[in-house]
Structure 1
Amino acid sequence: MDAQGPGSQQGTTASAGTSAASPTHRDGPMLFVESIDHPVCDPDDYHHVSRVLRVPDGSPIVVCDGAGRWRRATFGPEPTGAGVVYRSPRRSPAIAVAFALIKG
């Protein structure tokens, strides 16, 4: 988990709300929370991450709000945020148009 890959923003001094690459698996497990500013882990999610994925308290994770904002945090019942809140760039959906010509 200490390896930093291309998408990693370790040591970034940018202000909150700036754009950054999306988190990768190297940043730790991803946990979705209602508020990224005050993350609270749902009891079912806490059980899944701690028992099924076997992530011990104090391990690095990524908390996301589902709206493109994320930050690194430390795992626990109330994850503690560490550092800047990033905003992943919104990707435009790929659009494809197809039609079939019918005879007659």
Structure 2
Amino acid sequence: MRRLAAVLAVLVCAAHALAQDAPRFRVDPAWPKPLPNNWIMGQAAGVAVDAEDHVWVIQRPRTLTDDEKAASLTPPRIRCCVPAPPVLVFDQDGTLIKPS
């Protein structure tokens, strides 16, 4: 019984310590930086970071409405915007490195 109580005490202390050290995240509204070519992103489907700390974003261009992608219509409604390629690679600061 004492062993069970000791194990439970250790687990409670460990859980408390882990809860205090949990990371806190916040949205950076300036990330990513503006895209070239009047590109606009659709819904993000996935995000990954590679060994070089490049951020890979898979986005869904077909989720954009006609109003959002008006420059890509025939005839174009306005100058902005055009769907970005489905895979984009950014550096940590949010600068586009390359579309893939």
TM-score computed with the length of structure 2 as normaliser: 0.28
**Which of the two has greater helix per residue?**
2
- Bigger radius of gyration among the two: 2
**Which structure is higher in RCO with an 8 Å CA cutoff and minimum separation 6?**
1
